[in-house]
Amino acid sequence: MKDYVENDTMEFGEEEKKVEEERDEKRREKMAERGNWSGKLDFFLALCGSSVGLGNVWRFPYLCYKHGGGAFLIPYFLSVFCAGIPLLVIEIGLGQFTGQGPVTAWGMISPLFKGIGCAGLVIQVFLDTYYVVIMAWGLYYLLFSFNAVLPYSTCSNDWNTPCCFVQAAKEKVIDVDTNGSMTRDTMTGINGTMATMMSGSFFNMSEECPNGTTSPTVEFWNRKVLQIHLSEGIHDVGAVSWQLFLCLILAWFLIYLCICKGVKSSGKVVYVTVPFPYILLTILLVRAVTLPNAVDGIIFYLKPDTSKLRDSQVWLDAATQIFYSNTLGQGFLVALGSYNKRNHNFVR
C-alpha cells in the first residue's frame, strides 16, 4: 500500500512538472511572437518618454505655483518615495515577469485582478482620446508656424476683432496722456478698424471693448482654432472644423506608423521622439532665463509658502500628480515591462 501511494505521488508530480514545462514552453513561444526590446536603451527611452507628457509639462508647474511654490515639492517628493517608486517597480516587474499585457498579467495573479487591468485599459482609452486632440492642435500650430509672419502675432487677420491689440501697441497707448493726441503711426499693430482717429485725438474704447483688449494669440486660439464665437454654448456642437479634423487624422496616422510593427517599430521611434522634447524644453528654458526680470519670475514662482502645507488639497494634488507624471495605474508600465527579457535588471 505504501509503495502504491509513493508511485502514485511520483506519477502525479511528474505530470504536474510536465504540465508546467508545457505551460512555460507556450509562454516562451508567445513572448517570441510578441518580441522584446532590441536593447536596454529602447526600454529606458520608452520609460522616459512616458514621463515627459502633459502631466509634467503643463500640470506640474501649475500645481507648484498654485500650492505654495517650492513648498509643494515637499509633499510631491514624499509621494514619489512613498507611492510613486513602489508602484512603478510593481507594475514594470509584473509585466516583465509574466511577459503579458496588463489584463492578462493581473489575471495570472488572480482572476479577480483582471478588473485592475481592465480599469487601466479603460483609463488609457479615455486619455488617448483627448491626448490625440491636443496633438492635433500642436500640428495645427506647427503648420501655421511656417508662415513668414506668424498669424497669432498680428491683429490684421480676418478672425481678429476690433479689440485686438499687440503688446507693443498696447504699451504705446498706455504711455500716452489721455488729454493728448497721437498720430496714426503710434497705433501700429492695432486692427485697422481701431486705427481711425477722430480729429487726431485719442478716443475712449470702453464702449466697443467692455471686457478690455485681447492679444492676437488669444484671439487666434479662441476664434481661429476653437472657433468659440460660432457656438452659442456647450449645447451647440457646431460644424466640423475640417482643418482640425485633418490634423486629427494625421495625428492618428503618425501614431499608427509608430506602433504598426509593435515593439520593433516603437523601439526605434523612441530614439527620436524622446530626446526631441528634452531638446525643446532646454531651448525654452534658455530663452526664458534670458528674458528681462527672469530671476524675479523664478523667485516668485518657487518662493516657498509653507502655510499651504496645512491644506489637505495640496497633499491630495501632490499624490495625484504622481500618477500623471509616471503613468501609474494605466497599464502602460505593465505593457512596457512585458517586452523586457525576464532576467533584465530594470531597477538598476
Question: Annotated binding site for Na(+): which residue ranges?
Answer: 49, 52, 56, 325
> Rounded to whole angstroms, how far apart are CA atoms 93 and 109?
13
Q: How far is CA 74 from CA 85, 123, 175, 314, in A?
A: 16, 28, 44, 10
Closest CA to 271 of 25, 38, 57, 20: 38
Residue set of the binding site: 49, 52, 56, 325
- Residue labelled with grid coordinates 511656417: 146
Backbone angles phi, psi at 231, to 5 degrees: -110, 140
